[in-house]
Amino acid sequence: MKMFSAEVLAYFRTHHGMATHTALMRAGMSRRQRFAAVEVGVLEQIYENVVHLVSTPLTLEARCAALSMAHSRGFVTGPAGGRLTGIRRMPRTADVSYCLPHGAHVGPYPGVDLRQSTKIPPAHVVVRADGIRVASAARLAFDLASDLTEVDHQSVLEQLLNDGKCTMATLSAVGRQLAHPARPGSVRFMSNLLARSGRPTDSHPEVLVADGLRRRGVPILTQVEPLLLPGGGRITLDLAVPTVRWGVEIDVHPDHWLLPGTTRDKQRDRRCHLVGWQVERVTEVDLLDLEAICDELAELYRSRCELLGVAA
């Protein structure tokens, strides 16, 4: 006897092998058929109203789908939410962080980091086509402040802004709604948000170098406004102090390692010289000793200031 209809199989396929009893009933699977499938081991009960098609793997997405189905007022957040959203610098943890309204009495569940919040407005949750409920980019940025180091959290803010997943306005709005001395991550989120300057950086190495320079008193800006070069070309420097026309380029893309790439870099640097800009380049080898390269760059910046007769 055929146990699953085409409609039931299609639902499992689009929801990572997870389904609620209600969804299966709507797809035409009777209560008796559902219980029989569980009894013979084709389905397994994951949560009270959620079953798993045993032949499908328990991926991160499957586990998040199951939690979203079981607790439809909550959402995936933290490192698991970051991985679902494609964010870099996520801690290596197998747990899924799931946030529920304050006062919910559920769990504990193995492999699940249950969190609670008094504020879960609709705008803070994105419901995906596969049924997974995940934090919006701005809410995720706030929640991750308690999971990440300061520099990694800065990097996440830059990536979310650079990828267009949120704006300074949406981040500020979340900060106003959630920041509180007793709420974990509030101080880090607000301090990193307020410390931002310039346009968002492209990569984590840019965040690291910018942080190192600021710690050394260099008023660095990120992704400054396009610089007009002789011949009409426009470029955007990774890091810069425009007041003294001093910039830093972080060359970590493989194109910079090959002769055509290094030639283009040198040609561009010479064109920068023609409009009075001094550009320093940082390679992946330099980044092996981050503190040393930041010390060197800070010294070069101060030399530039001295040359121009301005205070560093």
Rounded Cα distance between 34 and 36, Å, is 5
User: Each residue of 123-138: pLDDT tens digit?
Assistant: 999 999 999 999 999 9
The contacts of residue 68 (CB under 8 Å, 6+ apart) are: 74, 75, 76, 127, 131, 132, 133
Q: Cα-flanking dihedrals φ and ψ of residue 19, to 5°?
A: -160, 150
**In the prediction, which pLDDT does 255 show?**
66
Asked if residue 221 belongs to a domain, the reply is yes
Rounded Cα distance between 309 and 312, Å, is 9
Segment 38-45 shows an average pLDDT of 94
**In the prediction, which pLDDT does 129 show?**
96
**Torsion angle of the four alpha carbons 146, 100, 89, 197, in this order, in degrees rounded to the nearest 10:** -60
Q: Which two tokens stand for residue 105?
A: 């009495």
**Closest to 76 in 3D by CA, of 47, 111, 24:** 111
**In the prediction, which pLDDT does 232 show?**
73
37 confidence band (pLDDT: 50, 70, 90): very high
**In the prediction, which pLDDT does 236 show?**
85
Statement to judge: residues 274 and 251 lie in one domain: yes
**In the prediction, which pLDDT does 120 show?**
96
Asked if residue 222 belongs to a domain, the reply is yes
pLDDT of 42 over the 90 cut: yes
Asked if residue 1 belongs to a domain, the reply is no
Q: Which two tokens stand for residue 204?
A: 């984590």
Element (H, E) at 150: helix 150-162
Statement to judge: residues 286 and 214 lie in one domain: yes
Statement to judge: residues 139 and 175 lie in one domain: yes
Domain-ending residue, one of 169, 195, 221: 195
Statement to judge: residues 214 and 162 lie in one domain: no
Domain-ending residue, one of 171, 195, 219: 195
Check which CATH number belongs to the domain holding 236 and give it: 3.40.960.10
Asked if residue 302 belongs to a domain, the reply is yes
Statement to judge: residues 87 and 101 lie in one domain: yes
State the residue range of the domain holding 29: 6-58
Rounded Cα distance between 217 and 196, Å, is 15
User: Each residue of 209-256: pLDDT tens digit?
Assistant: 999 999 999 999 887 777 888 877 788 888 999 999 999 999 877 665
**In the prediction, which pLDDT does 1 show?**
43
Statement to judge: residues 96 and 30 lie in one domain: no
Domain-ending residue, one of 195, 215, 234: 195
Statement to judge: residues 228 and 303 lie in one domain: yes
* Average pLDDT value over all residues in the chain: 91
Statement to judge: residues 245 and 304 lie in one domain: yes
Q: How many domains does the chain have?
A: 3
Check which CATH number belongs to the domain holding 28 and give it: 1.10.10
Rounded Cα distance between 179 and 17, Å, is 37
Statement to judge: residues 76 and 157 lie in one domain: yes
Statement to judge: residues 39 and 108 lie in one domain: no
From its phi and psi, is residue 103 left (phi > 0), alpha (psi between -120 and 50) or beta?
A: left
The answer to whether the Cα torsion of 165, 168, 170, 174 is positive or negative is positive
